[in-house]
Structure 1
Amino acid sequence: MTSAVPRLGVTFIPTIEPERLKDFARAAEDSGLDEIWLWEDCFKESGVASAAAALAWTERIHVGVGLMPVPLRNVALTAMEIATLARLFPGRVIAGIGHGVQGWMEQVGARAASPMTLLEEYTVALRALLDGESVSTDGRYVRLDDVKLDWPPAERVPLMLGGEGPKSIRLAARLGDGNLVTSAVADDDIRRTRDLILDEIGADGAAAQRVIVPKIAATGDGAQQRVDEEVVRWGKPADRGIGVAGDAGTVAAEVRRLARLGATSVAFAPTEDEPDLLGFVEFLGRDVKPLIPT
């Protein structure tokens, strides 16, 4: 992990109506952003269906799903879906998996007694399937008998893992290509993630590890108030530095600061009450991004 210029992305939060994704995705690409991030929150929008649409509506931009809850998904199905996207849109798919919100997993009857065991078994199997291997395993949760994808990705798909507990962060560092930092986090949370990654895989491994940091942002009139209110919706105090409000220079400075903390990608999310969604996306790409590498 270094302070090199990070990739700049935008998050299509699932409180936005799905039918607005087309214009959102095209605005993100046209304005020069590097990544679009999608959430698979219960019970809002499918991450995979949204990713397929966003990829089809664009030509260059990378699209990540952060994250797909593993208790909801058979690992073979997830591998098939990721592989299909990767074959259709080579080099543009970023896959993210994680525990999912345990309350939601309880609601659908999928909560695991040991989420860590499930995620570890699932990650190992998914990575092997995406790499074109034939997988047989008889774990506590993941059971496969000579399963092999007919159409594995032609090139390696980055596999990100999300989770806020120390064990989850370490697991992501050990088995994944990157860590998805939990939304609505402060600097201390990012530093803790960085330190755990370094401790788990050392400086050489950490240098290659992606760290995706989400950040709430707003610009224009009333920006600070909207950010503060959004942070409170996440159950956090508004004064912890979780969001950023201001002009392009202020937001670009925040991206550079997060890079120094270890972020390799920063994905800005609009507030739930953002009055000009496409304007926000264009602001990030056309106004903020050119100011970052300074």
Structure 2
Amino acid sequence: MSSPTTGVVFRPQCPPEQLRDAVRAAEDAGVAELWLWEDCFFEGSMSAAAAALAWSDRLAVGIGLVPVPLRNAALTAMELATVARMFPGRFLPGLGHGVLDWMAQVGARAASPMTLLREQTTAIRALLGGETVTTSGKHVQLDAVALDWPPPQPPPLLVGGRGPKTLRLAGELADGVILDVDQTPEGVRRQLASVQQGREAAGRADGPFRAVVYVEADPTATDLSAQMARRAAELGGVGATSVVFQPPGVAPDPRPLIEALMRS
């Protein structure tokens, strides 16, 4: 397997006015990817991603992930298409259930989160592909909806997953998966096996597919660069295509991890 791409997370516990400095640091250091989260009730992911892309020329920016209960599928597709058209080839959006307690807190928790994620992913992917979509699902109802400005090349649409059912759904419907729970090589191997089951069931096992794995890294660790390089190599060896390092803590600064990647 080839070496994975590496990146860092700008966690939403950092105030949004610090994003520009993190983007510029990542761009200047040659970091490949910067990832954003849409945790309740911090930054909005779409606005943050658009700003990060505008402040950079080369950096890929991912959203890991957009909670689908918060938005109508057509609106999500419109927003994703807008960002993808403005910054072609550098936008990596991800969809997911969201944290169910947060979704309940805002009155958006679905009775069947899996059904909602399936319907939203299917509709959004079709809309981004320029299709006219009519569907009468349990959660998504669209009547001859088509984007006026679909991206000429749709961005890869990822799904964040933890349990085997969601992982299989990611393999069946999405262009990639985001893993954020089990950071051991064996755990990643096991999760990607569930993803592969979904890909095989959908007849798409041989196509391109992204596997993004979040890894926590202590910025105070001795020889941080070497540790991060080893972790990336380990996870790349079991199928990760991107290894994205996140700082711990309630007010994390990603710059030490950016500097460590620059030295690795």
TM-score, L = length of structure 2: 0.94
User: Deviation at 1:44?
Assistant: 1.1
Distance 1:275 1:139 in 2: 40
Which of 244, 258, 262 is equivalent to 1:267? 244
What is the DSSP-based 3-state SS (H/G/I as helix, E as strand, rest coil) of the residue aligned with 2:111?
coil
- 1:62, 1:93 within 8 Å by CA — same for their partners in 2? yes
Distance 1:121 1:180 in 2: 19
Q: Judging changes above 3 Å, is the alpha-carbon distance between structure 1 residues 109 and 273 closer, same or farther for their aligned structure 2 residues?
A: closer
The corresponding residue for 1:91 is: 89
User: Deviation at 1:29?
Assistant: 1.1
User: Deviation at 1:270?
Assistant: 1.3
Map residues 230-269 of structure 1 onto 2, 5 A cutoff.
246-269=223-246
Is 1:287–2:237 an aligned residue pair?
Answer: no
Stretches of structure 1 that go unaligned for 5 or more consecutive residues are 224-244, 289-294
Map residues 18-97 of structure 1 onto 2, 5 A cutoff.
18-97=16-95
The corresponding residue for 2:213 is: 213
Q: Judging changes above 3 Å, is the alpha-carbon distance between structure 1 residues 206 and 37 closer, same or farther for their aligned structure 2 residues?
A: farther
The corresponding residue for 1:169 is: 167
The corresponding residue for 1:114 is: 112
What is the DSSP-based 3-state SS (H/G/I as helix, E as strand, rest coil) of the residue aligned with 1:205?
coil
Of 3-12 and 175-184, the range deviating more from structure 2 = 175-184
Q: Judging changes above 3 Å, is the alpha-carbon distance between structure 1 residues 34 and 110 closer, same or farther for their aligned structure 2 residues?
A: same
What is the DSSP-based 3-state SS (H/G/I as helix, E as strand, rest coil) of the residue aligned with 2:69?
helix
Q: What is the aligned-residue RMSD (CA, Å)?
A: 1.8
Distance 2:216 2:207 in 1: 26
What is the DSSP-based 3-state SS (H/G/I as helix, E as strand, rest coil) of the residue aligned with 1:196?
helix
Distance 2:141 2:250 in 1: 44
Q: Judging changes above 3 Å, is the alpha-carbon distance between structure 1 residues 249 and 43 closer, same or farther for their aligned structure 2 residues?
A: same
User: Deviation at 1:193?
Assistant: 1.1
What is the DSSP-based 3-state SS (H/G/I as helix, E as strand, rest coil) of the residue aligned with 2:216?
strand
User: Deviation at 1:207?
Assistant: 6.4
- 2:134, 2:141 within 8 Å by CA — same for their partners in 1? yes
Distance 2:2 2:62 in 1: 21
TM-score, L = length of structure 1: 0.84
Q: Judging changes above 3 Å, is the alpha-carbon distance between structure 1 residues 126 and 33 closer, same or farther for their aligned structure 2 residues?
A: same
Distance 2:215 2:94 in 1: 17
Q: Judging changes above 3 Å, is the alpha-carbon distance between structure 1 residues 18 and 123 closer, same or farther for their aligned structure 2 residues?
A: same
Q: Judging changes above 3 Å, is the alpha-carbon distance between structure 1 residues 204 and 100 closer, same or farther for their aligned structure 2 residues?
A: closer
User: Deviation at 1:183?
Assistant: 4.2
Q: Judging changes above 3 Å, is the alpha-carbon distance between structure 1 residues 172 and 10 closer, same or farther for their aligned structure 2 residues?
A: same
Distance 2:73 2:253 in 1: 38
Distance 1:156 1:21 in 2: 26
Stretches of structure 2 that go unaligned for 5 or more consecutive residues are none
User: Deviation at 1:206?
Assistant: 5.8
**Alignment identity in percent?**
49
Is 1:10–2:20 an aligned residue pair?
Answer: no
Opposite residue 213 of structure 2, the aligned amino acid is V
User: Deviation at 1:200?
Assistant: 2.8
Opposite residue 140 of structure 2, the aligned amino acid is V
What is the DSSP-based 3-state SS (H/G/I as helix, E as strand, rest coil) of the residue aligned with 1:24?
helix
Distance 2:251 2:100 in 1: 29
Q: Judging changes above 3 Å, is the alpha-carbon distance between structure 1 residues 138 and 43 closer, same or farther for their aligned structure 2 residues?
A: same
Which of 194, 197, 200 is equivalent to 2:198? 200
The corresponding residue for 1:142 is: 140
Q: Judging changes above 3 Å, is the alpha-carbon distance between structure 1 residues 71 and 277 closer, same or farther for their aligned structure 2 residues?
A: closer
